[in-house]
Structure 1
């Protein structure tokens, strides 16, 4: 007799993690659950594989990573359909996500040698007899704990950088999207069959905890701020360095000279794409008074056209609907008004697009991450007040500004790791720019040069080229030489 399962809620039976669609309950697949010894064994295998993988060099790894990229591109429809089946993501959204992930693999593969390869460093005048050299060495095995909302793009950001840098990876996908995670492992194994360079360990939160304590060289985590703190605490037991990409409460600022229709279109996309289940999603908009009414009307009109079940998919994690509903209720009970949606927005696994105005600054919908297709719009007197309110939350992941004359200056004042000017979310697709936040949104970076360096350790080497003109690092120095050192330092640095 088959057990009754709640759609979308992970179930474990006979040592297997069973993944189901959050709307229909249709089974997406089953993967084996790892226990603590299995996690340790995966990391041990990864150490052997890492030595082999690093030995391929940048060019060898590039060739393999580009083949993996090509394989994913060839089978993009298959992966997008699997993402729809397992997480409920609309196929169009899945295709866009996979496309960005493909580009990130391509960029990491093509740029790792430039960013991490050995290089000569210019010597300082006081040590001209030594040449300086810098190289970046792989960490060995990198642990990656991925999220369910972007089960391909987000973990690929860490995985591609770690692999390009010469590390092996042990990946713990979210228990809500394990089958998509295993698909990535299996396709990589098709192009790299020799060693288990990329492995998966499946299960619930305890598996992630074991991975933190398994002796990896670094742990890259994406998820909630609360869970990120637990990951840090677990990794601290072994001084394992961490990269934390946590929650967000991103704001959009609309200045008086903004293109209002374009700002409204981007706001709806930034707030509603992936049913609002986006760490860099726009959850708050601060609009200067002269364009406020036009912006509210344009956003409401556009959001009202979105089709639930087609443009807007289900909420993947069932308990998230409770949080979304609570935030909407709190906003309305505290004087907010729903221009679209409202208390009846939550409908089973789906949440209807919701636009809220006149929401007080201390409401849940302003202060805490909602993670649903909702947007609060607040009228401000000017951009200064908008920046003040945008920066008044503990999160600092991304953000956006629409305007002309002062948009870039406003963007620089936002307390965030990333910002888009006259667009929303665009920075996540820019493979050569670093991605990450500040404050409760975490620290460390994926993507870009900085993202590659996160997964390698810098090593400095000096090589003596001749005798010292100013012999300071020796007990053989004479008083006269010390005097020359003093004169030289004064000559160089006193002015």
Structure 2
């Protein structure tokens, strides 16, 4: 594996165009009481490329979050009355600005998070697609739905979609643009206001985006940004929002769900995963190996849908293993503000330590390292080689626990039934993959896997990139869906409006109840015979 470091990073990872003035301007979007006698100590993240300080970001208090929610709620009333076509115009204007200025946000994502530039660009592409999709489809997704009433013709009924009010969004560091903004856009288009809790590691990316949304025409108070520790600021967001969208660990997701439930507030949760990939006997080995490497090592493995378990038919196990090792060892590690490297840095010392602990535990208990297996401090302080393991057993932490790093384990299997059983082990159910030249057999296998999405002849991105289809997990991987119709309707309440015409539902005042019941029963029987719904 090689290190190709660009001259731009030789002295400092900070992008040259980022000035103290621009950082200060972005930080003005953080909602806080500037008159506070004892201001909160700002949070300063460190750049993964060299562990140097990034920039101080103001810290909020629960009172700041409450004030943000109050301002957002006031702004939401006018926004809900704004025609959806006008909301869509703003989102499309943001779409255009994002594509024109993408190099800026790519630099920020890399500076704050350390990923390779191509993986940062995937966030831009995904957010642009989300913006375009919902701007064009929101009216259809949220249109009133006419339904039959109890009595045909006499009862007129429709279902309306009503905004929740203030949506609280708590997003993680691993996809600061996609997960930080991709959920905001449908929430706004549905007529809500938003309070976003910026992740402490990647706050500048979200704040840059907020400024771009303002330039696109979004009202100032409609999207509020708060920052600070999750245990304080995140909790306050859950305590003030009318609906919560959380992406993160399963453990924290349970806490969010419990806290929201006590207020009878809904929540959408995308949580952890230990995602399986199955290579059938008839798979294209070269394609499957390349797809596995992409799905396992994209974003340096710091991706909720990335592959960590690979089940390979025993008859092609050796051939697949050798090809995967070859593909993995050809990947280029490095830190560069261009597209010259394939794999970037891990995000933090804690993340590096977690990856090292999983690999060391596995090796100590008998697993074999086929590729990688080592940190690369000569490239950067948080670099770890893409790693392929075999011989992993149940007593090893890497077998069932989410690694969230560039580590994948190989396991042989004998039959399709065994592969499905292995893929369904554990309580997670976020994403899965099946590789086969037989589309019908792969589809049958996919429908037996308990997972929110299953990709056929693709590692992870086909389902996630299909914005018209829902994305989310089963079991310990979460509740609800982003993308598709549910990805915007979840931010609304269903309201039924029914109008009765000509006669009331019930016995007329001049009619005996018994007679009314008899006639109604006859009508019900007639409707059954006529196949009336």
**TM-score (normalizing by structure 2):** 0.86
Deviations 1:99-134 (A, max 9, x none): 11111111111111101122322345x454101101
- 2:360 aligned partner: 329
Q: How do 1:151-300 residues align onto structure 2 when only pairs under 5 Å count?
A: 151-192=176-217, 194-205=219-230, 206-214=232-240, 216-300=241-325
- Which of 61, 83, 94 is the matching residue for 1:35? 61
Cα drift, residue 493 of structure 1: 4.8
Work out the CA distance in 2 between the residues paired with 1:427 and 1:94. 19
Cα drift, residue 491 of structure 1: 4.5
- 2:411 aligned partner: 378
Q: How do 1:303-382 residues align onto structure 2 when only pairs under 5 Å count?
A: 303-309=328-334, 310-342=341-373, 344-345=374-375, 347=377, 348-382=381-415
SS of 1:137 mapped into structure 2: strand
Cα drift, residue 492 of structure 1: 4.5
Work out the CA distance in 1 between the residues paired with 2:219 and 2:182. 23
Work out the CA distance in 1 between the residues paired with 2:390 and 2:148. 57
- Which of 464, 467, 477 is the matching residue for 1:441? 477
Q: How do 1:129-168 residues align onto structure 2 when only pairs under 5 Å count?
A: 129-168=154-193
- Which of 372, 380, 403 is the matching residue for 2:436? 403
* Conserved 8 A contact 1:471-1:477: no
Q: How many aligned residue pairs are there?
A: 481
* Conserved 8 A contact 2:181-2:206: no
Change (3 A) 1:280 1:194: closer
- 1:4 aligned partner: none
Work out the CA distance in 2 between the residues paired with 1:350 and 1:459. 52
- 2:17 aligned partner: none
Cα drift, residue 331 of structure 1: 2.0
* Conserved 8 A contact 1:275-1:315: yes
Change (3 A) 1:477 1:95: farther
Work out the CA distance in 2 between the residues paired with 1:14 and 1:307. 42
- 1:70 aligned partner: 96
- Which of 458, 462, 467 is the matching residue for 2:494? 458
Change (3 A) 1:330 1:472: farther
* Conserved 8 A contact 1:28-1:82: no
- Which of 20, 23, 26 is the matching residue for 2:46? 20
SS of 1:413 mapped into structure 2: coil
SS of 1:134 mapped into structure 2: strand
Cα drift, residue 74 of structure 1: 0.9
SS of 1:467 mapped into structure 2: coil
SS of 2:485 mapped into structure 1: helix
Cα drift, residue 473 of structure 1: 9.7
* Conserved 8 A contact 2:54-2:112: yes
Work out the CA distance in 2 between the residues paired with 1:473 and 1:62. 49
* Conserved 8 A contact 2:424-2:450: yes
Cα drift, residue 36 of structure 1: 1.1
Change (3 A) 1:387 1:345: farther
Change (3 A) 1:493 1:331: farther
Cα drift, residue 94 of structure 1: 0.8
Cα drift, residue 476 of structure 1: 5.6
Matched, 1:114 2:147: no
Q: CA RMSD in A?
A: 2.1
Deviations 1:143-198 (A, max 9, x none): 00001001111232311110111111111121111111111111111223543111
**TM-score (normalizing by structure 1):** 0.93
* Conserved 8 A contact 1:189-1:198: no
Structure 1: any 5+ residue segments left out of the alignment?
1-6
Structure 2: any 5+ residue segments left out of the alignment?
1-12, 15-38, 335-340
Which stretch has the larger CA shift, 424-433 or 36-45?
424-433
Deviations 1:258-309 (A, max 9, x none): 1111111110000001100000000111111121111111111000011222
Work out the CA distance in 2 between the residues paired with 1:171 and 1:476. 59
Change (3 A) 1:481 1:186: same
- 1:95 aligned partner: 121
Cα drift, residue 30 of structure 1: 2.8
* Conserved 8 A contact 1:249-1:284: yes
- 2:424 aligned partner: 391
* Conserved 8 A contact 1:105-1:156: no
* Conserved 8 A contact 2:375-2:382: no
Change (3 A) 1:477 1:72: farther
Work out the CA distance in 2 between the residues paired with 1:346 and 1:462. 66
Cα drift, residue 318 of structure 1: 2.1
- 2:36 aligned partner: none
Change (3 A) 1:81 1:476: farther
